Amino acid sequence: MSIDELVQNLRTHPGVTRKAEVSAVANELLTVPEGIIVATHGEDAAAIELDGRIILLAADGIMEDLVKANPYWAGYCSVLVNVNDIAAMGGSPLAIVDVLSCGDPHVRSEIVNGMRAASEKTGVPIVGGHLHPDASYCAVDVAVLGETDKQHLILSSGASSGDTVIFAMDLDGHFTPGIPYSWDTTSAKDSDAVRRGVMSMHAVGSMVSAGKDISSPGALGTLGMLLEASACGAKVDVGAIPRPDDVDLLQWLKAYQGCGFVVTSADNVSEKVVAELGKRGLTAAICGQVEAGSRLVVEMGRESAELFDLSVDTLGCRPPQRI
- The helix, strand and coil proportions of the chain, stated in percent and rounded to the nearest 5, come to 35, 30, 35
Contact by Cβ (8 Å): 259, 184: no
Residue 34 has pLDDT above 70, yes or no: no
What local confidence, expressed as pLDDT, does residue 31 receive? 63
Contact by Cβ (8 Å): 58, 181: no
Average pLDDT over residues 105-113: 97
pLDDT tens-digit readout, 172-223: 999 999 999 999 999 999 999 999 999 999 999 999 999 999 999 999 999 9
Q: How far is CA 52 from CA 38, 48, 49, 151, 250, in A?
A: 12, 10, 6, 11, 44
Q: How far is CA 2 from CA 60, 151, 219, 250, 302, in A?
A: 35, 42, 18, 11, 11
What local confidence, expressed as pLDDT, does residue 322 receive? 40
Q: How far is CA 174 from CA 46, 88, 184, 188, in A?
A: 31, 22, 5, 10
Mean pLDDT of the chain: 94
Q: Averaging pLDDT over each range in 26-35, 38-47, 254-263, which range is the top one?
A: 254-263
Contact by Cβ (8 Å): 113, 75: yes
Give the chain's largest Cα–Cα span.
Answer: 58
- pLDDT confidence band for 24 (50 / 70 / 90): confident
Q: What is the pTM of this model?
A: 0.94
What local confidence, expressed as pLDDT, does residue 317 receive? 86
Residue 320 has pLDDT above 60, yes or no: no
pLDDT tens-digit readout, 119-159: 999 999 999 999 999 999 999 999 999 999 999 999 999 99
Strands 256-257 and 182-184: parallel
Look at the alpha carbons of 236, 242, 244, 245 in this order and tell me if their dihedral is positive or negative: positive
Domains of the chain: 3-16+154-309 (3.90.650.10), 36-148 (3.30.1330.10)
Residue 321 has pLDDT above 50, yes or no: no
Three-state DSSP class for 126?
A: strand
Strands 92-101 and 126-132: parallel
